[in-house]
Each structure stands twice: as structure tokens, then as C-alpha cells.
A and B are shown apart, each in its own frame.
Chain A
Amino acid sequence: MKKFDLKRLAAIIYALAITAMAFLFFTNDFGLVDIRKTAVIIGAGIDLTEGGVSVTAQVAVPQPSENGENTVYIEVEGDGATVADALNVINKKTGFFPKLVFCKLLILGESCRDADIFEVLDYFYRDDYTQLTPVIAMCSGSAGELLASKMRFGNTATVSIERLLSDEAKKSANVSTVNLKMIGIDNFSQSAACYMPYIRARAQSAASPAAQSTGGGGQSEGQSGGEEGGDMQEFLCDRTAIFRGGRFAGILDEEQTFALNLLKNSVRHVFVPCTYEGTVYTLGLRNCRGGAGVRSSGGGAVARLAFSAVVQVNDVGRAEDPRSVSEGVVPEGVLRAGEARLRGLFSSLFSALREADCDALELGTKLFRYDRALYEELEGRVLSSAQLAFEVSLRSAG
């Protein structure tokens, strides 16, 4: 008969004990969350007040439910000397432990124009339990009110704005979507400039047919939300707020925003209207490659704004011969008109940035990286002293 091996048994028991203990080490209570005690902040708005900071958190409160809608969205406001302080007030008010790991959107109210936004946002860069992934934007008026407003599209303001600032929207160059990491890197770079989408809310009467047909469902219990049947809101994110050294420096209009996005983002498919021989063409641009660079020339810096794309005509302001449409060849004159239109947009953007002394195109950072000697010579005046050169090239898809 085989001898009973006590030593082997002890080793097995020990190994099993370690495995059991490892669950404690490696798991977050198996990811189980007591939904009665949990509130997940999906978006937050920050406004500056006389006493410090007011944070409005849009909170998703999971409800125990067997079927149907099981999440309620509420807006909770907390005031404090700092963001951390205000969040703690929210914690005290609700008894919920605010989890910012799920926060996907941060809105800065108009009042933040008067402060260094990185003083306001300091908490998010320090906190161990917050990631740098939330998308950030500035809005006109109060961020708290914006988050509490009733939406035409989507059931909460956070969801609606997130959709407007999605990656897909960014790829169409319509919005300047950025996250906390991107503005942090830009601000602390040699250029010391950053930008973010500027949101405007536009009231839309709930009684209008459009609002009735597309009005969002779902539940929203806004503390400061409008009355039932009141004005619905729709948002526009086609402008861009720019910052120099963390301080507000101005707002880029729709066209300047579009030009900035063409140069800064990896865009996929954009539409550019242009006029050729009195006819309006809407050009669809694909395979877009854009960028702003800087190089030395004759002891100075030359800012090079480059963009190239493959073009097809998406729409023309007159009836076209079907055969010419099927060939898909874009007339040379239309291509040149498109290039001229883009040069105009880039020129307008560069003028606006230069006027605001805001190096959102990161010319200073690029000069530091590729020509440090010249950077040290021009430090602090790269944008103002740089000459402007365009390299815009559109090719016909057909």
C-alpha cells in the first residue's frame, strides 16, 4: 500500500491557501459593486464661484431592476475651495463615494475664463484614481446648468456632448476633441498653449415638430433641470477655445476650428465648399494628410502649413452631365479653387492664433525638438516672428 505523504499534503494545502489568498490580492472584490451605495460620475461641470469652485456631477445611479430602464441620471452640485473639496461635498450630500474612473466628460464653465485652467484641473492630474482619458470642453454660461439641461438628442447632456465630441466627429474635422492628457501635454510643452471645443447650447422649443419627433427618452432627474415640456437644448461644438499658459486667449470661429482640425487631427473624410466660375462645389476630401511644421530659413523660422488630400466632387450647385459624374474627374480649376479655399482657412487660423499669441499649432515645441539652437534664439516669439508658407495639394480621385 502506498505510504501517506504528509509533507506532500501540506504542500498542496499551502498551495491552495496561496491560490485562495491570491483572489484577495488580484481582484477588486471580484468587481462586485453594491449598487445601493454606488454612484458613477459620468460627467462633471466646473464653475468658478466667489467662494472657490462649484462642481456639478452628472451621476448614473444604478437601480436594482429585473427589466427595463435600470439607471437613473441625476445632477449633484458641490461647492468648495478646490475641486477635491467640492467632490467631497458631493460625497457628503449623497453618501455615494464618487468614482471618477468612469468620468468621460469634463466641462469648464465660462467663469473659468478668468483663471488658469490648470489650477482648476490640478486635482485630475494628481488624483491616483482618475485617468487622463476624459474629454474636456469649455462652454458658454454655466457648466452646471449645461449638464442639467434637457436634451433633444440623447437622454443626458453628458451622453449628447460625448456623441458630439466622439472620435468619429473628430475624424470629420468638425470638432476639436481633446482629452485631459492632450491639453496637459500641450500646456506644459515649450509652446505652452492648448485648445478645447467650445460648446454653445441652443434652446429648441419642445413644441416644435422636430423636437417632438426626435426628443430623447430615458430618465433624467435634474435637480436644476427644466420643467416638463420646457425648452429642449441642442449643442453646437464647432468653435474652439484657445489658451495660452493655461489662461483663456480667445475663441476660434467655425472656419478657424475646421482649419485647426485639418492640421492637428488625423481626419478621414471632410467636406470643403468652394466656388469656381460662379458655381458652388462641395468637395469631399479623403486620404487627408495635414500638419504644421517649422524650419529655419535665413536665420529665422518658417511655419509650414501643409495639407494634401484626394478629392471628389460631392455636390455641385447646378445640374451636371451624368457622364462627367461617372468619370469622377475633378476639373483642375475646381482643385485650384479648393486649394485657395484651404489656404484662406489656414491663413485665417494663423492670423487668429498670432493675434492671441497662442501657439496652438505647437511651432515652438517642434522647433525645440528639431532645431534647438534656433529655438533658443527665438524663445517666446516663435509664433510672432515666423514667416508663413503653405503647401496645399489636392488631387482628383478620378
Chain B
Amino acid sequence: MCVFNAAAKLMIYPTAMAAMCGNVLWLPVLADCLLQSLVVWLVCMLAARTDRTFFELLSCAFGRPAARVVYVAFALYFALSAFVPMTEQQAMVHEVFYDTIPSLLTFLPFFFFSAYAGSRGLTNAGRTAEICLPVFAVTVIILVVMGLPECDFSALLPVSAPINSVLGGCVGGFFRFNEGAVMLLLMGHFRYKRGDAMKITLSCALGGAIVAAVCAVFYAIYSFLAPQQYFAIAKISIFFSAISLIGRTDLMAVYALDIAMLFAIAMYIQLAVYCLSKAFSVQLHPLYSLVINIALFALTLLFNNKFALVQQLGAAVLGWGTLLFACAMPAAGWLAYIVGVKHEKV
């Protein structure tokens, strides 16, 4: 929860927040993160009361067809949730890893990887998270430490900012915070133990805090130029003095971090595949994964060189999706639980 929460938000999100909120860019990050942590905690509380999955709760309360429809919608939502960070990653690979303008095909291996990852089950996501955690932690620390000598934290002052600006940031970045939806689908797939709610919620909040900290460091380095600097995580270390002598050794850390980002994006595809297999009650993971990846590849071709449009659509359309699936659906989960309990009593 911590790694995947943070990894997918370190590419364009800090730049977008700097453009919207200036020096208080970390405030909307924390606000959105706190909201999602609260939702995650509520889902954990629900998991503490029942061993059922969300699909079972919906089936029990509103019937199986309704549950199927909801899960198909979830699959669509997660596939689209993967699309925005995927385009960001494509742009980042092209800009940071290549000196000149590479072909779109250099990003093609991503789809081979995600098709494979998507065809694996959700347990696979858990294993990869365990591998990604140390990689993510070490690389983020390395990059941030390399950026620290260049930081002027007074650029983050004054902390006061127009409320409209902070609210704008909260709304604009809201679509990236879908941990509530992720947790809702993971519910019932693990045996809840006492204290798990606190651990999972803190893990989610820690991910958000890491993003807020990276945003603060990024702004402390670039200040008024931050809105122009895309791919924050790859740019906070470039002023490290040794780099001018020995070259961009920091790219080793960026490469490693990019692997964690890849798995974070692949998790959305894994969740979408899981939703389809539940909705259709047929375990055809490779087929679902293939369909989703072909759709994403088609979207990538369609929106090639329309990076800004994808960002705008993400904020405008996916924001509503996140409100529905990451906030309203957990509430629906509770409702389904209460209705289901009443049915059982009757």
C-alpha cells in the first residue's frame, strides 16, 4: 500500500501541484492522502467485521447481477487509472532515458510486461510489493539526499495560501488517490488480525507523506521554476556536485525506481483483470489481461503526443471515477454489509 501509493505519484504529480498551488504544493497532497487514509481505515473496519469479499457482500445484499455490473465498472475504472500514470511513464522514459526523440516502440515492452503481470493473480502483486519496498525506499532516499544540498526550504514559505488554490490542488490531484478502491477489492482476500487496520492505514498515510516530502524537496530545489520541471523524481538530483564530474549516475537510482513504478501501474491492470474474472466468473486471466493491454496500447497510440490532454482528462473525468469508486463504493460496501446482515437475520 505504501510503495504503490507513492510510486505512481512521483512523475508528474509534483509538477502539477506546483503549477496549481505554488509553494504549498504539499498541502493538497496531504489533504487527499488523509481523506484516502480515512477511507482505507473504514474499509479495514469493514474487513474486521466480515471475511467476505466486496463481491460477496454485493451479491448477498443486491444480487449477483448487480455485483457483476459493479465489478465490470471497477475493471474499467482500474484500467483507466493505469492509463494516466502509464502515459506519464512513457513520457518519462522518452525524456529522461533518451537524449533524442525515441520511437513510441521503445515503450512497447511495457505492454509485454503488464500483460504478463496482469495474467498473474493478486497474490503476485503482494509478492512484487515485497520486492519493490526496499528498492523504492533505497532509491527515493538516494535521490532525495542527492537533492538536499540544493534545497532552499524557505521557498516553501509562507505556508498560508489562498483556499481556492489549495482546494484546486485537492480536486486536481484527487484522481490519483484511489487506495480506498484498491483496499475494497483486497478485502476478504486476507485474514484480518487485530491491529491490521492501523497498520494498513498508517502504511497508506506513509505513502502519501513520502509523496508530500518529495514534493517539498522538489519545490525547495526549483521554487518558481517547479511548474516547468516535469518528472520531478528524475530532476531533483541533477544538481548534485559529483554528477558534473562523473555523469548522471543518479539515473541508476531512477532506473531502479522506475521498476517500482512499473509494478505500481501493473497492479491496476492486475486489479482490472481480477474484477473481470469475478464479474464473468471465469478464470481466464491471460485473456482478460491481453484484452486490457490491447485496449491500453490502442489508447496510447490514440493519445500519442497528447500528454496535456491526458492529464486534463485524468483530472476532469477520473476525478469523478475516484469519487465514485474510492469513496462512494466503500460506503456502499458498508451498506451492503448492513443489508446483508439483516437478510441473514430474516
Contact = CB atoms under 8 A, between A and B. Distances in A.
Given A25-B109, A372-B158, A128 B99 contact: no
A133 B222 CA distance: 12
Interface in A156-183: 167, 181
B108 A21 contact: yes
A41 B244 CA distance: 15
Interface in A1-49: 14-15, 17-18, 21-22, 24-28
A369 B154 contact: yes
Nearest to B95: A128
Given A132-B225, A185-B225, A22 B230 contact: no
A101 B154 CA distance: 29
Q: Most chain-B CB neighbours within 10 Å: which of A189, A368, A369?
A: A369
B160 interface: yes
A167 B149 CA distance: 14
A370 B160 CA distance: 11
B106 interface: yes
Contact of A14 (B93, B109, B116): B116
Nearest to A22: B109
B293 interface: no
A125 interface: yes
A185 B222 contact: yes
B241 A181 contact: no
Interface in B68-113: 93, 95, 97-100, 105-110, 112-113
Contact of B244 (A24, A28, A133, A372): A133
Given A18-B116, A21-B109, A104 B244 contact: yes
Q: Most chain-A CB neighbours within 10 Å: which of B93, B99, B110?
A: B99
A366 B244 CA distance: 30
A126 interface: yes
A131 B238 contact: yes
Contact of A21 (B112, B223, B230, B241): B112
Nearest to B154: A369
Contacts of B105: 24
Main secondary structure of the interface of B (DSSP, over half): helix
B32 interface: no
Nearest to B149: A266
Interface residues of A, number: 33
A184 interface: yes
Interface in B205-251: 222-225, 228, 230, 238-239, 241, 244
Contact of A25 (B93, B99, B100, B241): B93
B157 interface: yes
Given A18-B116, A25-B110, A133 B99 contact: no
Contacts of A126: 228
A133 B113 contact: no
Contacts of B160: 372
A189 B109 contact: no
A26 B255 contact: yes
A22 B113 contact: yes
B157 A369 contact: yes
A99 interface: yes
A372 B157 CA distance: 10
A276 interface: no
A97 B101 CA distance: 11
A296 B158 CA distance: 16
B258 interface: yes
B116 A25 contact: no
Nearest to A100: B99
B97 A26 contact: yes
A188 B222 CA distance: 11
Given A167-B241, A185-B224, A129 B99 contact: yes
B112 A129 contact: no
Given A18-B113, A133-B244, A372-B158, A181 B100 contact: no
B116 A26 contact: no
Interface in B102-147: 105-110, 112-113, 116
A28 B241 CA distance: 24
Given A18-B112, A21-B112, A24-B106, A97 B100 contact: yes
Given A17-B112, A26-B258, 5 more contacts: A99-B99, A99-B100, A131-B238, A185-B224, A189-B224
The list of the 9 closest CB pairs from A to B, nearest first, reads A21-B109, A188-B224, A369-B157, A25-B109, A185-B223, A184-B225, A128-B95, A28-B98, A372-B158
